[in-house]
Amino acid sequence: MNISPLQTARYEYMPKLPGMLRNGISEICVKEGNDTQSVADQEKIAALFPNTYGKKEITFEKGANTSVSKKQAVGVILSGGQAPGGHNVVCGLYDALKATDKENVLYGFKGGPSGLLEDSYIEFDDAYINMFRNTGGFDIIGSGRTKLETEEQFAVAAEVCKKHGITAIVIIGGDDSNTNAAVLAEYMAAHNTGVQVIGCPKTIDGDLKNEDIEISFGFDTATKTYSELIGNIERDCNSAKKYWHFIKVMGRSASHVALECALETQPNICLISEEVEAKKMSLSQIADQIADAVEKRAAKGMNFGVAVIPEGVVEFVPEFKALIAEINELLAGAKADEFNALASWEEKYAFIENGLSGDAMAVFAILPQNIQQQLFLERDPHGNVQVSLIESEKLFAAMVADKLAQRKAAGTYKGKFSAQYHFFGYEGRCAFPSNFDADYCYSLGYNAFMLIQYGFTGYLSKVSNLSRPAEEWIAGGMPITKMMNMERRHGEDKPVIRKALVELDGAPFRYFEERRDTWAVETCYTFPGAIQYFGPASVCDITTRTLALEKGMLK
């Protein structure tokens, strides 16, 4: 196998653990905190989780080990989208498990949660684990989006665990996967299976965060990767001075990724979906806001700029959301076949015009034709519009071009406008984890085993105090039920972990808001450069500006 010099060097990197975990299980004891309750809907959630609700938060400290010694066989699952650092969670878990007892075993279920249901697994050994230390990706066992949520699935999972003598399952995933981890933990406890379940907080989107989870892993590396690319584009743009770059960045729903990239690179424009929704902005208003910046910069001779667009923005535009709902309705059931049978776009357009309300049609009519066609042609297996496939970077560029053409005709704008488009998503999900993510993930995995060894179930592996050096990080666990509330999902009330959107009164957004008007008309670009893995801690180990602002470490 060909291995790059960086990969070889990263194999040698020793991730930093929180101080209290550094001497292994023999010197770790548990400090119990308070009983917990869910963030909302306490009675309902307590009733749904009679065996796992209300447990105490815990932290680990240096002290005499009081855990009960038993042979552990642990199964680990990677769930959902890739996020840098996933391999290190597995490595940390493996190292802790083997350091505690060489006879302990770690199984990796392949291809995500379905691997557990299909009993498709590998048993890790040193040689295999060593090939993945400090590397990006989830290819160590693969990932998948199967949801573990039904009683039937849980029964199969319990059987598979029984077959292999599995004592605990670790689920590495986002808000949905950790919600399901809590439900699985409750099932395993209620059925006296003896199987513990522990979650680990993953997602580049950064929306699995709350008073207990300071950051989900992968967010640091992914945003650093996108910020490097955006910074490079800013420099190109400021050199050539002839293009406006429209850059869409991943983040299915929340705008944390876009905001962090903006804080790192100071582009001329960064849309924040949560603000668009709060202000009930229309597509036309958003296009006008961007066109204003283009016009002001053109008046100063700067016919170039950079606009960052969060992936999920169109779903936060109220009129667009209503349009999508009408389209889904319009093509429900057999009507989709009728539509698909129409031969030309003109006929299809007439069908649409006939079926949509006047308001929805007014929004549809202002969209560029390629976006109109995307809305009708690229649909998911349920027949719904695939909003995440909408090329919003092209949509806004086209709408801005229209606005500028109108302004030119009115004589208010005399500049030139030429757009380039980019989508940064997959580029960041499997990057070599930054030192922060390498350390954080290794600690999450190591800590997950400590939770198992001390007999906890339904807990999330929690490592906090992350804006400080790793030595000062605090390791422990939090019952997942503490993060839950009831939400309506697919017509039913369900207990779920609350998704964290960008808070408009939070420090990161306020910092951005105070400066963005200047960034819009001046050229204030900053160039973060590539992630550095070797060198001074002040360059290599710092985490996101979002976290620094949230912790008051940046004003």
Q: Is 204 near ligand FBP (CB under 6 A)?
A: yes
d(CA 178, CA 343): 46
Q: Is 220 near ligand FBP (CB under 6 A)?
A: no
DSSP assignment, residue 547? H
Torsion of CA 55, 59, 62, 65, to 10 degrees: 20
d(CA 437, CA 293): 36
Q: What are phi and psi of 277, to 5 degrees?
A: -70, -45
The amino acid at residue 482 is K
To the nearest whole angstrom, how small is the minimum distance from the Cβ of residue 83 to ligand FBP?
A: 6
Does 205 qualify as catalytic in the annotation? yes
For 52, 297, 490, the CA distances from 44, given in Å and listed in that order, are 13, 55, 18
What is 173-220 written as a DSSP string?
E-HHHHHHHHHHHHHHHHTT---EEEEEEB-TT--S-SSS-S--BTHH
Question: Among 112, 137, 251, 445, which residue interacts with ligand FBP (rule: CB under 6 A)?
Answer: 251
Question: Among 15, 18, 80, 528, which residue interacts with ligand FBP (rule: CB under 6 A)?
Answer: 80
Q: Is 461 near ligand FBP (CB under 6 A)?
A: no
To the nearest whole angstrom, how small is the minimum distance from the Cβ of residue 145 to ligand FBP?
A: 6
* Sole window of 77-85, 101-109, 491-499, 502-510 interacting with ligand FBP (rule: CB under 6 A): 77-85
Tokens of 36: 């917990």
To the nearest whole angstrom, how small is the minimum distance from the Cβ of residue 311 to ligand FBP?
A: 6
Strands 121-123 and 105-109: antiparallel
Catalytic residue, candidates 95, 175, 176, 205: 205
Closest CA to 108 of 183, 189, 164: 164
Q: Is 205 near ligand FBP (CB under 6 A)?
A: yes
Q: Is 256 near ligand FBP (CB under 6 A)?
A: no
Q: Are 136 and 84 in contact (CB under 8 A)?
A: yes
Q: Is 136 near ligand FBP (CB under 6 A)?
A: no
Between 58 and 90, whose beta carbon lies closer to ligand FBP?
Answer: 90
Between 372 and 388, whose beta carbon lies closer to ligand FBP?
Answer: 388
Q: Is 20 near ligand FBP (CB under 6 A)?
A: no
Window 357-386: contact mask with ligand FBP (x via CB under 6 A):
------------------------------
Q: Is 250 near ligand FBP (CB under 6 A)?
A: yes
* Sole window of 54-62, 76-84, 130-138, 297-305 interacting with ligand FBP (rule: CB under 6 A): 76-84
Between 86 and 415, whose beta carbon lies closer to ligand FBP?
Answer: 86
DSSP assignment, residue 149? -
d(CA 406, CA 398): 13
Name beta bridge partners: 464: 474
Q: Is 388 near ligand FBP (CB under 6 A)?
A: yes
Residue ranges in contact with ligand FBP by CB under 6 A: 80-81, 83, 174, 203-205, 250-252, 311, 388, 429
Residues with catalytic roles: 205
